[in-house]
A = this chain, B = another copy of it.
């Protein structure tokens, strides 16, 4: 593995869309007892169900701590690879490399990671194990690695269409917890030079009460070039309504890097999901304080799906809208099987299916 200090775009590399072909997918086995209730028991079952589906159409690598390796190996199918890797928590989207390609070669980007806001409003301390994962995964895969650790970015805060357009939110990227000394223009330039994009569509805010400071991947996602799904509610009394309406207005007023108007599909949200007292009981405290409060609204959204080579895996919440979400996405991904998995036990950790996965784009063999 070479550590590179040039820019990916300058070297001819870009981040493909998630719906482009993958050679694999990375996840991190959950373990953190103040994130995942009951010693991550239920989360592990949900992760295993998800991983088994993804592994049906792409090679999955699961990173497990030394002390969790045997259990991960026991609960995962033979065709999944489990590798030892230390971590602070289990959000591969945000701590694994962002993979980029020039068509024939794969490289990774090692962004800085500070647990979604560092000492300003980050979610745990320390985060050094997480911050070392991207580089170690590049090393494991023999992929050269761009050192962009001086720029704080999580994979969940960006979506690309693979054709020059990037979607993100101001709430996250312009917040005080990431890169407070950079202007919006400097951040735009960093994203363009790193990801090979030319046009950035800035939404204002992400899902209500999303502790990632409004990651894009919970509110809006590309399903094809020029097409997105947007998390939506028709309930004007829900604080989410105003947020989603603002996004809709921006998207309908935007064109992408190719000059296309953006076609927006409203993906209805589940009814608000609140953590119960019993669920909170199952979470360890952190530094003597509870990490969740009974009744707290969780950032549930169907937009947090993962697009695998042959399937799209969508969170389900036992809600009447579960089926509607699957139906809408089935129409948008006619070449893939759209599958739901019950994901409340992932949601309690603070994210969902997209947050715990990171795709590895396929490259053509030369």
- A residues engaging B (CB < 8 A)? 1-2, 66, 69-70, 73, 78, 81-86, 129, 132, 135-136, 139-140, 142
Using Cβ atoms and an 8 Å threshold, which residues of chain B touch A2?
Answer: 78
Q: Is the interface of A mostly helix, strand, loop or mixed?
A: mixed
Partner of A82, one of B66, B69, B83, B139: B139
A1 to B79, CA, bound (A): 6
Q: Count the copies.
A: 2
Give every chain B residue within 8 A of A86 (Cβ-Cβ): 66, 84
CA A78 – CA B135 in complex, angstroms? 13
Q: Are B83 and A139 closer than 8 Å at their CB atoms?
A: yes
Please name 24 pairs of A and B residues whose Cβ atoms are closer than 8 Å in the assembled complex, sorted by A.
Answer: A1-B78, A2-B78, A66-B86, A66-B129, A66-B132, A69-B132, A69-B136, A70-B132, A73-B135, A73-B139, A81-B139, A81-B140, A81-B142, A82-B139, A83-B83, A83-B84, A83-B136, A83-B139, A83-B140, A84-B84, A84-B85, A84-B86, A84-B136, A140-B140
A115 and B191 alpha carbons, distance in the complex (Å): 51
Q: Smallest CB-CB separation from A83: which chain B residue?
A: B140
Q: How far is the CA of A122 from the CA of B241 in the complex (A)?
A: 67
Among residues of B, the one whose C-beta sits closest to the C-beta of A129 is B66
User: Could you list 11 further interchain pairs (A-B, Cβ under 8 angstroms) beyond the known A66-B86, A83-B84?
Assistant: A66-B129, A73-B139, A81-B139, A81-B142, A82-B136, A82-B139, A83-B136, A83-B139, A84-B84, A84-B86, A84-B136
Please name all residues of chain B whose beta carbon is closer than 8 Å to the beta carbon of A85 when the two chains form the complex: 84
In the complex, the 6 A-B pairs of residues with the closest C-beta atoms, listed nearest first: A66-B86, A2-B78, A84-B85, A82-B139, A83-B140, A84-B84
